[in-house]
Amino acid sequence: MLDYGSGNLRSAVRAMERAGASVTLTADLPTAQEADGLVVPGVGAYAACMAGLRAIKGERAIGRRLAGGRPVLGICVGMQVLFERGIEHGVETEGCDEWPGVVERLQAPVVPHMGWNTVEVEQSPQTATTLFEGIEDQHFYFVHSYGVRDWTLRTNDRTRAPLVHWAEHGGDRFVAAVENGPLSATQFHPEKSGDAGAALLRNWVRAL
């Protein structure tokens, strides 16, 4: 689990352990690159998270792992920083750019989107969901004011299309989770999502 100054990670570590993983909190690049799986957590402001990530060259660790097909899981702002850029309070911050798309303010009557929501789990004939297997109809805990409201990655017949799972709040739709080869991410907090979150983390750990 990448430790780049993004708040308290104790619950996330405990939740991963509960899911069957042996967890090392690290800011060390070689350690992050060699692990069977890398979790990128994140809470707070996009710009602060990106600055923290860059300070330990975390985006490089993510990029190298993905080039080698090694699994990475982003959580909350840890998902948002995987996109091209984020706009918070009018400030535009460049992200890791693993996926095209912009993180922007949610357009709902009540923001933050705070609480337990369901996810529209996408399944395609070619690709079954790994993360949501057995928990397709469960609630997960969200707490965020920004999200990815437009998924723009185009795919052709020769690429395996990513699974993009959406959620809805107050009439606005946004990306709740993505499964894209070795790169997975959730906008919600599986480590705070009770038994359903534990099952999702266990699904990810089992696939490593």
Q: Report the catalytic residues.
A: 76, 189, 191
Q: Does 177 contact another protein by CB under 8 A?
A: no
> What is the end-to-end Cα distance of the chain in Å, rounded?
14
Long-range contacts of 51-56 (CB under 8 A, 24+ apart): 52/4, 52/5, 52/6, 53/2, 53/4, 53/81, 53/96, 55/4, 55/5, 56/2, 56/4, 56/27, 56/29
27, 47, 111, 153: which one contacts another protein (CB under 8 A)?
A: 111
- The answer to whether 14 contacts another protein (rule: CB under 8 A) is yes
Determine which residue in the list 91, 114, 128, 208 makes contact with another protein, applying CB under 8 A.
114
Amino acid at 48: A
198 lies in the site for another protein, by CB under 8 A = yes
For another protein, the closer CB: 64 or 173:
173
Q: Which of 36, 115, 123, 159 binds another protein (CB under 8 A)?
A: 115
Helices (H), the chain: 10-18, 29-34, 46-55, 58-67, 77-80, 194-206
Nearer to another protein, 15 or 62 (CB): 15
Q: Which residues bind another protein (CB under 8 A)?
A: 7-8, 10-11, 14-15, 18-20, 43-45, 109-118, 120, 134-135, 138-139, 141-145, 167-170, 191-199, 202
